[in-house]
């Protein structure tokens, strides 16, 4: 178990459970939480024992984005360089999440605002409690949607909905987010953690290399033409075909038994 004050990580049945842990601030990001979250995704990248990640928040919120207490203009004579803070804190974590070739399941347990919403949208399978809401809070304080938000909203929702969410900063309830295809599922609050854990555990018992290559392909699809993509599928399928998990999957099918994947 890795335990910082701000992020708690435990490894269980191949699932790295990562909990944002500043409940009094609705898990808003301070510097320590940034570094601890990045460290968790670095562990997920390097450690073969980690075969899926489950990200959630402690308390009644998922994440309220940047801790605005750390940006109080009344306490500083100079204006902050937010380009620098994105480069230093948010963007490395977003890049790690998108390049991690293991599935990330997100359980949005409550409000997800600002960068907190966009961190959730960077995950691979997002479940949200029915009572949870997503808010692109940036325009309320004069900022633009960061942490990949302007990119993921535009790609997933298209311009009309992306612009309305970002410009108006109105809350989007979990069920609406599901019906717009922004998240996988809205579920009853009481069953959120169990349902998310079941999905993460199932993925952690899956053919990790094949799942990682699938994530790579789906993320690459929107930015390349079909010819390029077919070549990429060929290369990824070649790699998948050389894995022990593929041999096990076919053998298990022929022997009419469940496959036991090892992630290699
Ligand atoms: O700066 C950079 O590096 C650039 C990057 C920016 C990325 C960003 O994320 S910018 C956007 C920052 N986030 C926001 O603007 C959201 C601010 N929060 C809210 O709008 C509301 O708190 C919520 C809609 C999220 C939830 O509302 P509600 O009514 O359920 O809760 P609340 O009472 O507002 O908040 C509960 C506590 O959490 C409260 O503290 P208190 O009064 O009990 O001591 C509140 O101050 C605190 N809190 C909530 N969000 C933040 C926060 N404290 C610091 N920073 C926050 N972002």
Q: What is the pLDDT of residues 181-195, one digit of tens each?
A: 999 999 999 999 999
pTM of the prediction? Answer: 0.97
Non-local CB neighbours of 10 within 8 Å, separated by 6+ positions: 1, 2, 16, 17
User: How many A from CA of 135 to the centre of ligand 1?
Assistant: 11
Mutate-to-test residue for ligand 1 from 113, 119, 150, 171, highest number of ligand atoms within 8 A of CB: 113
Q: For residues 188 and 132, is the Cβ–Cβ distance under 8 A? A: no
| Terminal-to-terminal C-alpha distance of the chain | 24
137 in ligand 1 pocket by Cβ < 6 Å?
yes
Q: For residues 186 and 178, is the Cβ–Cβ distance under 8 A? A: yes
85 in ligand 1 pocket by Cβ < 6 Å?
yes
Q: How far apart are the C-alpha atoms of 257 and 259, rounded to whole Å?
A: 6
Q: How far apart are the C-alpha atoms of 133 and 177, rounded to whole Å?
A: 9
Query: So what's the pLDDT on residue 2?
Result: 57
Tell me the pLDDT band of 70, cut-offs 50, 70 and 90.
very high
Report the 10 Å Cβ neighbour count for 170: 10
Query: So what's the pLDDT on residue 178?
Result: 98
User: How many A from CA of 189 to the centre of ligand 1?
Assistant: 21
Query: So what's the pLDDT on residue 3?
Result: 55
Query: So what's the pLDDT on residue 92?
Result: 98
Could you give phi then psi for residue 130, rounded to 5 degrees?
A: -55, -30
Report the 10 Å Cβ neighbour count for 238: 10
Q: What is the pLDDT of residues 224-257, one digit of tens each?
A: 999 999 999 999 999 999 999 999 999 999 999 9
What does the mean pLDDT of the chain come to? 97
Tell me the pLDDT band of 30, cut-offs 50, 70 and 90.
very high
Q: What average pLDDT does this structure show over 103-114?
A: 98
Q: How far apart are the C-alpha atoms of 120 and 99, rounded to whole Å?
A: 15
Furthest-apart CA atoms within the chain: distance in Å: 71
Q: For residues 38 and 2, is the Cβ–Cβ distance under 8 A? A: no
Return the residue whose CA atom lies nearest to atom 29 of ligand 1: 111
Query: Can you list the domains of the chain with their CATH numbers?
Result: 2-204 (3.90.226.10), 208-254 (1.10.12)
Q: What is the pLDDT of residues 126-160, one digit of tens each?
A: 999 999 999 999 999 999 999 999 999 999 999 99
Q: What average pLDDT does this structure show over 163-186?
A: 98
Q: What average pLDDT does this structure show over 104-111?
A: 98
Q: What is the pLDDT of residues 195-221, one digit of tens each?
A: 999 999 999 999 999 999 999 999 999
Q: For residues 157 and 134, is the Cβ–Cβ distance under 8 A? A: no
């Amino acid at each position: 178990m890795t335990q910082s004050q701000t992020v708690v990580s435990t490894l269980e049945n191949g699932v790295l459970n990562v909990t944002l842990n500043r409940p009094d601030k609705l898990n808003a990001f301070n510097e320590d939480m940034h570094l601890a979250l990045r460290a968790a995704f670095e562990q997920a990248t390097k450690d073969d024992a980690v075969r899926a990640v489950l990200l959630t928040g402690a308390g009644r919120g998922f994440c309220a984005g940047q801790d605005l207490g750390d940006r109080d203009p009344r306490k500083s004579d100079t204006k902050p360089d937010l380009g620098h803070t994105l480069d230093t804190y948010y963007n490395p974590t977003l890049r790690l999440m998108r390049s991690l070739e293991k599935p990330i399941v997100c359980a949005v347990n409550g409000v997800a605002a600002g960068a907190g919403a966009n961190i959730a949208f960077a995950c691979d399978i997002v479940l949200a409690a029915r009572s949870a809401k997503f808010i692109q809070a940036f325009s309320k304080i004069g900022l633009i949607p960061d942490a990949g938000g302007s990119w993921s909203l535009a790609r997933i929702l298209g311009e009309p909905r992306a612009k309305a969410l970002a410009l108006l900063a109105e809350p989007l309830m979990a069920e609406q987010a599901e019906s717009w295809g922004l998240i996988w599922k809205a579920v009853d609050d009481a069953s959120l953690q169990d349902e998310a854990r079941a999905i993460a555990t199932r993925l952690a018992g899956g053919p990790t290399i094949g799942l990682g290559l699938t994530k790579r392909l789906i993320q690459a699809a929107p930015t390349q033409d079909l010819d390029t993509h077919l070549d990429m599928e060929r290369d990824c399928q070649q790699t998948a075909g050389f894995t022990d998990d593929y041999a096990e999957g076919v053998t298990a099918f022929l022997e009419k038994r469940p496959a036991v994947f090892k992630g290699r």
